[in-house]
């Protein structure tokens, strides 16, 4: 399959979408800090928020991670709400204390939260002011991870978007990969692309501030994650072109993603075949092992990370599953359109009214339900096997070498349900 994947009849790009609003059982964008701070090793994320924000971060972080974290919360108190001028002074003081204690910090993100947005603390003004105070040693940026504006992975989108305006300008024809992936996966992607003769390959976000990529009219952008719509638009405004492709999950997704890039960079079919043949075969073999437990089984996605559509495409096409409902918090057809073209699903839903969706799930009794941590045990107690969605953003699942692991993540709850001989 060396040609770009052609659009097949039966895709769901133009199918009606069930749009719901009501109670949403999702994280807010602050949660992205949990993986972003591990990726950007000289960055600190300072949430300007409430005790709830601090509590969320420590609860979402796998209940508690006690490595010296590069994130914290400036908890607003009564007096900060009374006068905004004072709040800015307080913030300056806390930032000065923090940077004095952590001289290794080169990038500081002021992260807006629900309360800071509601009382309208202007963090962009604060970031400008603090950049002037702490230049050239520290660059201060701001974005909002608030729940009133962002859902879970949109926090990463907002963070990367905030970095776009300060990227240096280049006229070079370069490939820019966008999305914070574990190093092991990122390295695999870069080496595959380099083997195809594509380069130089840059990555946003870079591991360190001094490796920040440049952008310009000849930059070709390939997104690594389906939730980076605002970042993509910001890069387009800097002149970059976005390469449309299915996302690199599974053998088929990875091949289609590489193929789309290879076409832009004029890689010939023979080279493409030579570079991808072996890893494609490995991926297919690894997927086949897990597929034994997945084929013919039904799956139901609650909205969580915006990975739902590409993952449903992988599970239905490569693992033989049947998608009853694919719920996503937000559907950006400009990004997931190519995946939707390949996907057949009973229902595509956007947004959430959790009680109504639970009613649909219980009625459908899927073999596997992908949902957040708040719903998983209650559904298991009702006899439904579940897969925690959050693991899909914490675990290396992209590209050929992880395709088997990705299928395995979905197979494990089914295997477990099959082996356990104790009734609950």
Partner 1 sequence: MKLTVWTYEGPPHVGAMRVATGMKGLHYVLHAPQGDTYADLLFTMIERRNHRPPVTYTTFQARDLGSDTAHLFKEACREAYERFKPEAIIVGASCTAELIQDDPGGLAETMGLPIPVIPLELPSYQRKENFGADETFFQIVRHLAKPCQKTAQVSCNILGPTALGFRHRDDIEELTTILSDLGVSVNVVAPMGSSPSEIARLGAAHFNVMLYPETSEAACRWLKREFDQPYTTTIPIGVGATQDFIQEVISFTGRLAEVDQDRLRLPWWSRSVDSTYLTGKRVFLFGDATHVKASARIARDEMGFEVVGLGCYNREYARDIRALAKEFGVEPLITDDYLEVESAIEALQPEMILGTQMERHIGKRLGIPCAVISAPVHVQDFPARYSPQVGWEGANVIFDTWIHPLVMGLEEHLLHMFRDDFEFHDEAGASHHGTSGRVATGPSGGASPPEPPRDISEHGKEGHVIWLAAAEKELKKIPFFVRGKARKNTETFASERGVTEISVDTLYEAKAHYAR
d(CA 53, CA 51): 5
By the 10 Å C-beta count (0-12 exposed, 13-18 middle, 19+ buried), 184 is classed as: exposed
For residue 40, cis peptide bond before it (omega within 30 degrees of 0): no
Closest distance of CB 46 from partner 1, Å:
8
Closest distance of CB 314 from partner 1, Å:
26
Pairing of strands 386-388, 322-328: unpaired
Closest distance of CB 69 from partner 1, Å:
6
Closest distance of CB 224 from partner 1, Å:
24
d(CA 360, CA 288): 30
From the CB of residue 77, how many other CB atoms can be counted at a distance below 10 Å? Answer: 12
Best CA proximity match to 310, nearest among 183, 391, 241, 224: 224
Closest distance of CB 68 from partner 1, Å:
9
Closest distance of CB 29 from partner 1, Å:
8
Q: Let me know: does 121 contact 112? Beta carbons within 8 Å.
A: yes
Closest distance of CB 66 from partner 1, Å:
4
Complex with partner 1: residue 13 or 134, whichever CB lies closer: 134
Phi and psi of 324, rounded to 5°? -80, -50
Closest distance of CB 304 from partner 1, Å:
12
Complex with partner 1: residue 138 or 222, whichever CB lies closer: 138
d(CA 219, CA 217): 6
Complex with partner 1: residue 56 or 343, whichever CB lies closer: 56
Complex with partner 1: residue 75 or 288, whichever CB lies closer: 75
Phi and psi of 223, rounded to 5°? -80, 140
* Cβ within 8 Å of residue 213, ≥6 positions away: 167, 174, 176, 202, 203, 204, 206
Complex with partner 1: residue 77 or 273, whichever CB lies closer: 77
Complex with partner 1: residue 97 or 274, whichever CB lies closer: 97
What's CA 209's distance to the chain center, in Å?
Answer: 21
Complex with partner 1: residue 118 or 295, whichever CB lies closer: 118
Q: Reduced to 3 states, what is the DSSP secondary structure of residue 361?
A: helix
CB hemisphere CA count around 75 (13 angstroms): 9
Residues forming the site for partner 1 (CB under 8 A): 22-31, 46, 48, 50-52, 54-56, 58-60, 63-64, 66, 69, 71-78, 80-81, 87, 90-91, 93-94, 97-98, 114-115, 117-119, 146-149, 151, 355, 372-378, 380-381
């Amino acid at each position: 399959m060396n040609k770009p994947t052609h659009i097949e009849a039966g895709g769901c790009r133009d199918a009606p979408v069930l749009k719901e609003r009501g109670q949403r059982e999702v994280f807010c964008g602050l949660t992205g800090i949990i993986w972003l701070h591990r990726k950007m090793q000289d960055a600190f994320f300072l949430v300007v928020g409430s005790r709830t924000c601090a509590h969320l971060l420590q609860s979402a972080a796998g209940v508690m991670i006690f490595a010296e974290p590069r994130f914290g919360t400036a908890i607003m108190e009564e007096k900060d709400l009374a006068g905004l001028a004072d709040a800015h002074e307080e913030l300056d003081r806390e930032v000065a204390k923090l940077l004095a204690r952590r001289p290794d910090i080169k990038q500081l993100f002021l992260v807006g939260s629900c309360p800071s947005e509601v009382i309208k603390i202007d963090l962009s003004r604060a970031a400008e002011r603090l950049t002037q105070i702490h230049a050239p040693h520290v660059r201060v940026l701001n974005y909002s991870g608030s729940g009133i504006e962002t859902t879970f992975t949109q926090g990463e989108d907002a963070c990367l978007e905030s970095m776009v305006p300060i990227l240096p300008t280049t006229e070079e024809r370069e490939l820019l990969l966008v999305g914070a992936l574990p190093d092991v996966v990122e390295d695999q992607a870069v080496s595959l692309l380099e083997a195809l003769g594509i380069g130089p390959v840059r990555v946003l976000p870079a591991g360190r501030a001094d490796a920040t990529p440049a952008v310009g009219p000849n930059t070709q952008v390939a997104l690594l994650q389906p939730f980076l719509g605002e970042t993509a638009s910001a890069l387009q405004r800097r002149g970059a072109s976005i390469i449309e492709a299915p996302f690199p999950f599974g053998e088929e997704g990875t091949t289609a993603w590489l193929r789309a890039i290879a076409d832009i960079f004029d890689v010939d079919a023979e080279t493409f075949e030579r570079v991808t043949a072996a890893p494609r075969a490995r991926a297919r073999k690894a997927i086949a092992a897990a597929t034994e437990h997945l084929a013919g089984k039904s799956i139901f996605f609650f909205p969580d990370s915006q990975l739902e559509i590409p993952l449903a495409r992988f599970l239905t096409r490569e693992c033989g599953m049947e998608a009853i409902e694919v719920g996503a918090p937000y559907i950006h057809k400009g990004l997931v359109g190519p995946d939707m073209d390949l996907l057949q699903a009973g229902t595509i839903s956007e947004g959430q009214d959790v009680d109504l969706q639970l009613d649909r799930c219980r009625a459908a009794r899927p073999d596997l339900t992908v949902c957040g941590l708040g719903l998983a045990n209650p559904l298991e107690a009702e006899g439904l096997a579940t897969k925690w969605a959050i693991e899909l953003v914490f675990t290396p699942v992209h590209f050929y070498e992880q395709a088997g692991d990705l299928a395995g993540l979905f197979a494990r709850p089914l295997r477990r349900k099959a082996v356990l001989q104790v009734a609950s």
